[in-house]
């Protein structure tokens, strides 16, 4: 059920006109110091940072879920409205709740490339669809050009930009004192990652992004992944090891001149299948992403 729901979220994220879905339950995890993780398992995980400066939300899932997210954050913020939103990147399952919060006074920020990409979306070779252009309250109004830092609610939040990774506009946030990282979709914890080659993503950039997160994390750091459960540095290192080995295996066959069909038939990712395969990024689809990245 979890995987089916998550696949539906990705289908929705890439084609936001899909039919309305049930509103999932929002799970709230208290990470201390006013920091919370909100998860529904059908869209990108959310962080909420509460305190006297106002509520900061990282990612907004989707429009039909936003009221439930708002209710969950109000339960831990004395009923405050969200004041600031950061989108980790452009995908629909992270930004389609923006307008709900913008209408209630939130300022939306994201990497400087995201606004233009939301207004003029690229077709996806993975799903065969093109997301609908967004406008108005969906669009970020503050463009963050690169590494940055915000001091809010007593937290030092280091915002890191990783170029050409999951997309070309990925930010991840390190709350230094709370020892919490929101990784955005640089981490699909325990599952093959989606690497959006149609929006500037690259396999090497994805690995570099995870390496940067692992480098900033300590053994006790709580890491909120874009998808999957609350994670640790060990989970990031496991993802790096898998993706590096998978990249090398597919690239070696591609360098020998084999076609994608032949590489998928040879199935060099077989050792990873049982642990990492899931409905949206199957072993075949992961192989295709790695092959396309290696041969372009």
Half-sphere exposure of 262 (CA within 13 A, CB side): 9
Nearer to Zn ion, 92 or 268 (CB): 92
Provide the sign of the torsion angle of the four alpha carbons 62, 184, 79, 142, taken in this order.
Answer: negative
Q: Is residue 169 within the footprint of Zn ion (CB under 5 A)?
A: no
Angle at 14 between CA 12 and CA 19, to 5 degrees: 30
* CA-wise closest residue to 40 among 191, 226, 180, 171: 226
CB of 59 to Zn ion, least distance (A): 8
Q: Is residue 140 within the footprint of Zn ion (CB under 5 A)?
A: no
Q: Is residue 117 within the footprint of Zn ion (CB under 5 A)?
A: no
CA distance 117 to 245: 31
Instruction: Print the binding letters for residues 43-62 with Zn ion: x by CB under 5 A, - otherwise.
Output: -x------------------
Q: Is residue 226 within the footprint of Zn ion (CB under 5 A)?
A: yes
Nearer to Zn ion, 91 or 115 (CB): 91
Decide: 102 and 108 in contact? Cβ < 8 Å.
yes
CB of 117 to Zn ion, least distance (A): 12
Question: Which one among 6, 14, 16, 91 touches Zn ion, defined by CB under 5 A?
Answer: 91
- The CA–CA distances, whole Å, from 215 to 18, 167, 181, 229 equal 39, 20, 12, 20
Q: Name every residue whose Cβ is closer than 8 Å to that of residue 209 and which is 6 or more positions away in sequence.
A: 162, 165, 166, 170, 172, 186
Beta carbons within 10 angstroms of residue 71's beta carbon: 10
Decide: 197 and 184 in contact? Cβ < 8 Å.
no
CB of 252 to Zn ion, least distance (A): 28
From the list 31-39, 53-61, 85-93, 240-248, the region that binds Zn ion by CB under 5 A is 85-93
Alpha helices in the chain (DSSP H): 2-14, 66-74, 92-95, 98-103, 114-119, 203-216, 233-255, 260-266, 270-276, 283-295
Nearer to Zn ion, 72 or 183 (CB): 183
- The CA–CA distances, whole Å, from 266 to 96, 134, 249, 294 equal 39, 41, 11, 16
From the list 37-45, 79-87, 268-276, 277-285, the region that binds Zn ion by CB under 5 A is 37-45
From the list 122-130, 156-164, 177-185, 285-293, the region that binds Zn ion by CB under 5 A is 177-185
Q: Is residue 268 within the footprint of Zn ion (CB under 5 A)?
A: no
Task: Please list, residue by residue across 240-251, b when 16 or more beta carbons sit within 10 angstroms of its beta carbon and e when fewer do.
Answer: bebbeebbebbb
CB of 220 to Zn ion, least distance (A): 25
Nearer to Zn ion, 209 or 226 (CB): 226
Nearer to Zn ion, 138 or 263 (CB): 138
Nearer to Zn ion, 48 or 114 (CB): 114
Nearer to Zn ion, 227 or 233 (CB): 227
From the list 19-27, 41-49, 168-176, 260-268, the region that binds Zn ion by CB under 5 A is 41-49
Question: Which one among 185, 191, 214, 281 touches Zn ion, defined by CB under 5 A?
Answer: 185
CB of 185 to Zn ion, least distance (A): 4
Residues engaged in binding Zn ion (CB under 5 A): 44, 91, 93, 185, 226
């Amino acid at each position: 059920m979890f995987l089916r729901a998550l696949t539906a979220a990705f289908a929705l994220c890439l084609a936001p006109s899909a039919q309305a879905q049930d509103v999932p339950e929002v799970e709230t995890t208290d990470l201390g110091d006013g920091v919370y993780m909100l998860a529904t398992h059908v869209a990108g995980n959310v962080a909420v940072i509460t305190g006297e400066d106002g509520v900061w939300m990282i990612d907004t899932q989707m429009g039909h879920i936003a009221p439930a997210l708002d209710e969950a954050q109000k339960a831990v913020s004395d009923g405050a409205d969200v004041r600031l939103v950061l989108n980790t990147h452009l995908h629909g399952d992270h930004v389609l709740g923006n307008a709900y919060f913008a209408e209630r006074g939130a300022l939306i920020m994201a990497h400087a490339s995201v606004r233009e990409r939301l207004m003029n979306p690229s077709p996806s070779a993975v799903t065969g669809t093109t997301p609908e252009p967004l406008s108005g309250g969906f669009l970020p109004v503050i463009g963050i050009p690169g590494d940055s830092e915000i001091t809010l609610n007593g937290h030092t939040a280091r915002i890191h930009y990783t170029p050409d990774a999951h997309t070309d506009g990925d930010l991840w946030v390190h709350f230094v004192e709370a020892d919490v990282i929101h990784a955005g979709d640089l981490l699909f914890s325990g599952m093959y990652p989606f690497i959006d080659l149609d929006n500037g993503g690259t396999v090497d950039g994805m690995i570099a992004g995870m390496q940067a997160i692992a480098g900033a994390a300590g053994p006790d750091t709580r890491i909120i992944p874009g998808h999957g459960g609350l994670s640790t540095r060990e989970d990031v290192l496991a993802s790096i090891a898998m993706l590096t080995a998978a990249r090398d295996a597919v690239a070696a066959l591609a360098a020998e001149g084999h076609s994608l069909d032949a590489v998928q038939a040879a199935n060099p990712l077989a050792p990873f299948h049982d642990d990492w395969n899931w409905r949206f990024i199957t072993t075949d689809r992961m192989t295709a992403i790695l092959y396309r990245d290696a041969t372009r």
